[in-house]
A = this chain, B = another copy of it.
């Protein structure tokens, strides 16, 4: 299977890659998905399976793991090859097709769609004493099971959507919830910020803006953290069971940066057709940059459809790009 040529190979089995695989199937392509993770779903399953997602069209609210399940079912309708736990190291054009050299095998494909999300999941770490020591012993950068924090005293660090969303989810089950952020501006949806404000006024969340973590201490597990006011250097010690730091992810493209595609701001540069500078290599989702780019699942879906349609056209120049007005294939004989 590995060496059978496929029309389109999609690097990345997150939401963008899954929708791309589905869409490639709709366009009649043979498709392969390769992901370095052992499981499909990308960030949805690897980072926040239990988080509610609000901004996917048609779902007022859906758990990340459920969205992932739906997307897998949608993609699998057309039975793409799945190659998990595989890192593609090199990509070579051999005329007519690309050869992908993976850690465990090689793969041939006529076109490539890079849907690699934020690249490797390299979380930004808190550079303070105790972080490394207590990582996974109270210190976490992802929540896989919120129930674990029922009745606990939790300190959340960060000012983005992840930090605020988790503060809102956990506030009702924790014994105490402190939100620490180094300034008083937030990098989150306004509606989320409003909800956090309301929860703060209701005393459900303790806000500590202009504060940073100085250290994390404990014996076996986390027992306390010291934070300080970055304007006055005044310290506060907070007894707690968990320190959850949501500081985003370091962009780490990994081997992709050696595939010959142009990189800009740690992302793959594409044009409006989701073409990279290498003919036959397209990209979509959080990994791309172009004018007007937004990092949303909704835009990832659209980019995947655009990338796949243009990849179809690359593989078969007779196939028109827009499927609403395309395919146009003479496969029926008149009766």
Within 8 A of B (CB), among A175-204: 184-191, 193-194, 197, 200
Partner of A161 from the list B60, B190, B324 (CB cut-off 8 Å) is: B324
Complex: A62 Cα to B58 Cα, angstroms: 10
Residues on the B chain within 8 Å of A291, using CB = 272-273
Mark contacts of A289-319 with chain B using CB atoms, 8 A cut-off: 1 yes-contact digit, 0 otherwise: 0111011111101110110011000000000
Q: Does A27 contact B (CB under 8 A)?
A: yes
Q: A57-B71, A335-B207 are in contact. Are A329 and B190 (CB under 8 A)?
A: yes
Is the beta-carbon distance between B294 and A299 smaller than 8 angstroms? no
Q: Does A323 contact B (CB under 8 A)?
A: yes
Residues on the B chain within 8 Å of A22, using CB = 55
How many identical subunits does the complex contain? 2
Q: A28-B194, A56-B57, A58-B71 are in contact. Are A292 and B272 (CB under 8 A)?
A: yes
Is the beta-carbon distance between A294 and B15 smaller than 8 angstroms? no
Complex: A291 Cα to B290 Cα, angstroms: 13
Is the beta-carbon distance between A191 and B78 smaller than 8 angstroms? yes
Residues on the B chain within 8 Å of A56, using CB = 57-58
Q: A207-B335, A209-B334, A305-B294 are in contact. Are A186 and B57 (CB under 8 A)?
A: no
